[in-house]
Amino acid sequence: MEEATTRELIETYLKAFEHGELEQCMNCFDSDATVEWLMGEYRGKESIEEWHKDRFAAGLKILRVDGMNIKGDVATVRVTVTSKRLAAWRMPSLGGVVTVKFQDGKIHGTKFAAKSINPQQNWS
């Protein structure tokens, strides 16, 4: 996949995610895709759709994209996110890197690696 096409697909997905557009998000994934998010792994479109529903219900928002690097069919995207669940743990935001693998013009796999955090950082 060309870099411009890869960047366009990522931007399409991020915009759909920002607006909670489930169908548009799902259109970005191939049928055998995998999402690895923190301690969970979601395989196949049905499981990934449930992951999206759970994240939308938790109020997961992408606060910012801090950078993107594309090499062939792999992109790394540095993001900072927030959610109601993070806030409940007194974490206003969480930064990390999402590695995205593409196959035939669709997302085939994603893996979120959180920056290391201090679990006592926001506890008073």
- CATH code of the domain covering residue 41: 3.10.450.50
Range of the domain at 52: 3-114
| pLDDT for position 62 | 95
Q: Would residue 103 count as lying in a domain?
A: yes
| pLDDT for position 124 | 46
| pLDDT for position 123 | 46
| pLDDT for position 119 | 52
pTM score of the predicted model? 0.86
| pLDDT for position 116 | 60
Q: Would residue 34 count as lying in a domain?
A: yes
Q: Would residue 47 count as lying in a domain?
A: yes
Please identify every stretch of the chain with a pLDDT value under 70, giving residue numbers as ranges. 1, 116-124
Count up the domains in the chain and report the number.
1
For residues 3 and 113, give the distance between their C-alpha atoms in angstroms, rounded to a whole number: 22
| pLDDT for position 13 | 97
Q: Would residue 52 count as lying in a domain?
A: yes
| pLDDT for position 89 | 86
| pLDDT for position 38 | 82
Q: Would residue 119 count as lying in a domain?
A: no
The neighbour count for residue 91, using CB atoms within 10 Å, is 16
| pLDDT for position 91 | 87
